[in-house]
Every structure is written in structure tokens, then in C-alpha cells.
Structure 1
């Protein structure tokens, strides 16, 4: 796999999405990656073409187990207290499969930096390297303060805010943000009697 160094936003988004599949975050629904088929769908949804999962070979139960462990580690990087701790944690993830950066031309003939993954690296190791590049990019370009806890009451999600304004508040805006809007609307209805 080749990971472009300048596309950290995609890696950070997938890191957030992976953390948000956890049963810790998705109460009461449970784990969004309960089986290998769900992991395959997750990879497909995020357009991840890992060398460890060639066409037509679905992820295995062992791959799923390793990705569940990786999910905890990624969350740990996002919950670090300092930028140095986040970088150290991401470095551990990258070391599983990332090789030295290479400079080569992209499809448009421009010179770009890429990190390649080791041949034969397991799925979770390749995924770890991809996510690590995203997390490194967040620290370098946006700062450690962009790793945040979800602002929705009762949610235990964390996320990497790569928005331009840096004002994202929810780990899953369509879920947590909407839930909070509905709760606020209902509260206003109760307090105002529903009449305007």
C-alpha cells in the first residue's frame, strides 16, 4: 500500500470512524464491527485497498480481532495529554508496517511523498500505518488540540477534528449532533408547552 503524506485528512477521518465503531461509543446498539463481513464493509465504505486483503479475499476472524485491538490503540492516541505523546503513540502504530518515505510522481506528474507498507504486512498493521500517517498529519498541520472528546452528553466518543474552522463538536455529527438537537427540541416543547 502507498500512503500519500499530504492526505492526512482521510487517514484521520478513518481513524475517527474506526474508533466510533466501538461498543463503548455505540451504546446501546453495540459493536459496529461484530464480524469479518462488517470489517470488509468498513474497508469498502472508506475505499481502503489494503495489500493484505486482495480482491475476493475477505478479512478473517483473526484480522477482525487485531483491528479491534487497533481500535483501542487509536483511541488512546486521540486521548493523549500532549502532542509528544500523540506522536509517540502514532509512531508505534506506523512502525508495524510503514517503511521509509519515498518521493515519486503522482498521476498528474507532480512529485509527492509516500509511505509504503511492508510486503506481506497483516491487515491490521497496514491499517495502523495508514491511520498513523493521518494522526501525524493532524498534529503537524492542525495541532494536538484537534483531538477531542464528543460534546454530546453521555457519548464516550473521541475524534480528530480536521474541519477548516476547527469547531467540530461531535464524534458522529449525524448521530450525536442530531440526537442533541432532538433532545433540545423536546425540552423546549416541554418547557413551552409546545405552543408558539
Structure 2
């Protein structure tokens, strides 16, 4: 697998999304990656085709390794300083990442890529993608974009790679909507009581 250094947003988003599959984030939903089939859906949802899974489906061992990786990814996103984030991301990137290479993209332009080691496990390939994405996010956007979700009761984390940098929810469609609905209901109750 070749990981683009310049497309850091993929790995940065993957870090938060993977961390947020934990049952400690969505306590009512439970474990979001309980089976190999769930892992397959998660990877497909992110457009990832791992070399480690070429010609085979994930196993229960692959799922356990990815579940352990999500703790590490969360830990890097939750770091207090840029230095801690860089150190943690570098460890993840080194799991399967080899020396960067300069190669042509499909359009013929030269691009930096990090190939992954032959024989790397799915978790090791994901660690490299996440690590490189987080390193790119620190360099390009700064550590201030590593955030916890602002929704009350949510324990989700994310890296805000949006242009404006104003994102506050780990899952805007879910957490943001919940808060908007709760606020609307509260306003409606107040409005009804005032009449």
C-alpha cells in the first residue's frame, strides 16, 4: 500500500473515526467493530483497500488488533502538546511505514508516498495511515485542531481538517443534530410556558 503524504486528511479523519468506534464513546450503541464483517464495512466506508487483506477477509485476530489500535489513535488525538502528538504519531507511522518515496501520481505529477512493509498486518497498515495523517495535520493545521466533541455526554474525538477550523462535533450529523433538537425542545418548552 502507498500512503500519500500530502493527503493527510484521510489518516487524520481515520484516527478520530476509529477511536469513536469504541463502546466508551457511543455507550448506547456498544462496540461498533465487534466482528470481521463490521471491520470490512468500516474499511469500505473509508475507501480503504489494505494490502494485508488482499485476497482474504479480516479475521477475529485482525479485529482485536484494530480495537487495540483505536486506543492508541485516541491517545494521540488527546495529547496535551504538539510534541506528544508528533511522538505518538511517529510511533504509529513506523509500525508499517517505510522510507518515503517520490513517485508519479495517476496524473503524472511527482508526489511523496510512504509505502507499507510487505507482510504488514491490517492494524499495522492502519497505524501507518493514521500516523502519517496525524503528522501531516500537526504540520499543516497545528495541534489545536485535535479536539474532543463539544456535545454534552459524548466522549468522541476528532481532528478538524475543515478549511475554517470551526468544527466542534465528532459526528456533526449525529452529535450536532442531537444538540440542536435538544435546544429546540428546550426553547419550545420555554415558549409554551410563557404563553
Q: TM-score range by the shorter chain?
A: over 0.9
Q: How many Å separate the matches in 2 of 1:27 and 1:133?
A: 29
**Does the Cα contact within 8 Å between 1:189 and 1:195 map onto a contact in 2?**
no
Q: How many Å separate the matches in 2 of 1:188 and 1:27?
A: 27
1:23-65: per-residue Cα shift (whole Å, max 9, x none)? 111121111111110001101111101110014x110000000
1:81-135: per-residue Cα shift (whole Å, max 9, x none)? 1001001001111111000000011111100000000000011000100111110
Unaligned runs of 5+ in 2: none
Describe how 1:139-154 pairs up with structure 2 within 5 A. 139-154=138-153
**Does the Cα contact within 8 Å between 1:20 and 1:172 map onto a contact in 2?**
no
Q: How many Å separate the matches in 2 of 1:174 and 1:195?
A: 31
In angstroms, what is the RMSD of aligned CA positions? Answer: 1.2
TM-score in terms of structure 2 length: 0.97
| 2:43 paired residue number | 43
Q: How many residues align?
A: 195
Q: How many Å separate the matches in 2 of 1:5 and 1:43?
A: 19
Aligned pair in 2 of structure 1 residues 141, 44: CA closer, same or farther (>3 Å)? Answer: same
Unaligned runs of 5+ in 1: none
Matched, 1:178 2:177: yes
Q: How many Å separate the matches in 2 of 1:185 and 1:194?
A: 14
Deviation at 1:21?
Answer: 1.0
